Amino acid sequence: MKKILKDLERIEELRYTMENVCIDTKIPLERWTDHQLVEEAEYVLSCFFEPGHINHDDRFGDDKDLAKNLNKQIRLLKKFIKEYKTKDTAWTIHLEAVMYMEKGTV
């Protein structure tokens, strides 16, 4: 198994998301590129900072143990992204944002 997949398995929220995405797309996890996995990790991380999303709301809820676990997930996601995000990945994401803005949709 590739190291990136082993690291992904350690991050509960990312693992859960990828299990569902793999079922929905009918594409096994082993066929996803590193770039795609990083993009999914970035999406999962963004959910923790989106008011109204359950991951965000649970972070600031009354259950301190759950909040502690979710903060751990954030740390692991940031570490995962930092380790596997390449300059090419960053450039692709930047280019997609620029193209999106050029379409006049922002």
- pLDDT tens, residue by residue, 39-75: 999 999 999 999 999 999 999 999 999 999 999 999 9
What per-residue confidence (pLDDT) applies to 86?
81
Residue 106 has pLDDT above 50, yes or no: no
Lowest mean pLDDT among 6-15, 51-60, 77-86, 94-103: 94-103
- pTM of structure: 0.78
The alpha helices in 1-106, defined as continuous H runs, are 3-9, 12-25, 34-47, 54-59, 64-84, 87-102
What per-residue confidence (pLDDT) applies to 71?
95
Residue the block writes with tokens 């793999």: 22
Higher pLDDT, 98 or 30: 30
What per-residue confidence (pLDDT) applies to 1?
76
Residue 91 has pLDDT above 90, yes or no: no
Q: Which two tokens stand for residue 59?
A: 């972070």
Q: Which two tokens stand for residue 61?
A: 């809820």
Q: Which amino acid would we find at residue 87?
A: K
